Amino acid sequence: MQRKASAEWKGGFKDGKGTISTGSGVLSSAPYGFHARFEDGPGTNPEELIGAAHAGCFSMALSVALGQAGLTADKIATNATVTFGPQGDGFAITDVHLDLVAKIPGATDEQFQQIAAGAKANCPVSKVLNANITLTAKLEA
């Protein structure tokens, strides 16, 4: 299975502009640039997209792991915070923090924490990132 995405960039580092598109068409020429990446300018940025991918992947991995334990979630809500900044001679994604709130009938907190930690370790996006990936998990009653 392969998924495709593309980016196009025109101009210099600070004054240039780019677009990002996905093979599915969900993103089609979505703008990105210096101001969206390093400031609060309009558009998206690669780190935001990695965060979205990680949150989505982890949520699905958790659903699979819960199913293997005979549990089904009423709700899995994951936010990802991607930390990006200077490192050495360039920049790097240094951390990803996953903040999870879930409602899972019949789950104990101990069971939930164990399953969530396993999902974090086994999520394909977690495996591809060379960053410190952390998780906060809250089980709602």
Q: Which residues contact 40 (CB under 8 A, 6 or more apart)?
A: none
Specify the pLDDT at position 40.
86
């293997």: which residue's tokens?
A: 68
For 4-30, how does the pLDDT look when each residue is reduced to its tens digit (9 = 90+)? 999 999 999 999 999 999 999 999 999
Query: What span, in angstroms and rounded, lies between the C-alpha atoms of 75 and 55?
Result: 14
Specify the pLDDT at position 11.
95
For 80-121, how does the pLDDT look when each residue is reduced to its tens digit (9 = 90+)? 999 998 999 999 889 999 999 999 999 999 999 999 999 999
State if pTM tops 0.75. Answer: yes
Map out the domains of the chain with their CATH numbers: 5-38 (no CATH), 46-140 (3.30.300.20)
Query: What span, in angstroms and rounded, lies between the C-alpha atoms of 139 and 36?
Result: 34
